Amino acid sequence: MDGDIGKLTLAAKEYIEKTDLLISPIVFLELEYLYEIKRVASPAQEVYNYLHGQIGLSMCHFPFPNIVLCAAKEKWTRDVFDRLIVSHAKANGESPLISADKDIRGNYSKAIW
């Protein structure tokens, strides 16, 4: 794995250690996209398998139609990945969302970094 946990903030590390972690399926897809355009070194399945084994990360099965209905109301970005990721957290009970992305943190009050 090429990830650097040193980039995580203390708040993000503490949250990871105290809770069951879920990712939106759109995160998996974005990771694969980033791999395809050579912005990350490992394919999504490899990253997912590693994190599942190391920290118990799982994929959330919240209904996609609910996420899309929420995403249709998000107007702060044209980035479909960011829009769906934030909407997944919002639609799923305003769930906390770990993100280093400044735009996400500026538009979702439950973002942790």
DSSP string covering the chain: ----GGGS-HHHHHHHHHS--EE-HHHHHHHHHHHHTTSSSS-HHHHHHHHHHHH--EE----HHHHHHHHTT--S---HHHHHHHHHHHHTTS--EE---HHHHHH-TTEE-
Residue 3 confidence (pLDDT)? 57
Domain count, the chain: 1
Kindly state whether residue 2 falls inside one of the protein's structural domains.
Answer: no
Kindly state whether residue 69 falls inside one of the protein's structural domains.
Answer: yes
| Residue 30 CB contacts under 8 Å (≥ 6 apart), including other chains | 81, 85
Residue 62 lies in domain: 8-112
pTM of the model: 0.89
Kindly state whether residue 29 falls inside one of the protein's structural domains.
Answer: yes
Residue 39 confidence (pLDDT)? 97
Residue 7 confidence (pLDDT)? 85
Residue 4 confidence (pLDDT)? 60
Kindly state whether residue 74 falls inside one of the protein's structural domains.
Answer: yes
Kindly state whether residue 26 falls inside one of the protein's structural domains.
Answer: yes
Residue 108 confidence (pLDDT)? 98
Model pLDDT for residues 76-103, shown as the tens digit of each residue: 999 999 999 999 999 999 999 999 999 9
Kindly state whether residue 3 falls inside one of the protein's structural domains.
Answer: no
Tokens encoding 60: 């959330």
Kindly state whether residue 101 falls inside one of the protein's structural domains.
Answer: yes
Query: What CATH number does residue 54 fall under?
Result: 3.40.50
Per-residue confidence band for 9, with pLDDT thresholds at 50, 70 and 90: very high
Residue 6 confidence (pLDDT)? 73
In the chain, the percentage of residues whose pLDDT exceeds 90 is: 90
Kindly state whether residue 1 falls inside one of the protein's structural domains.
Answer: no
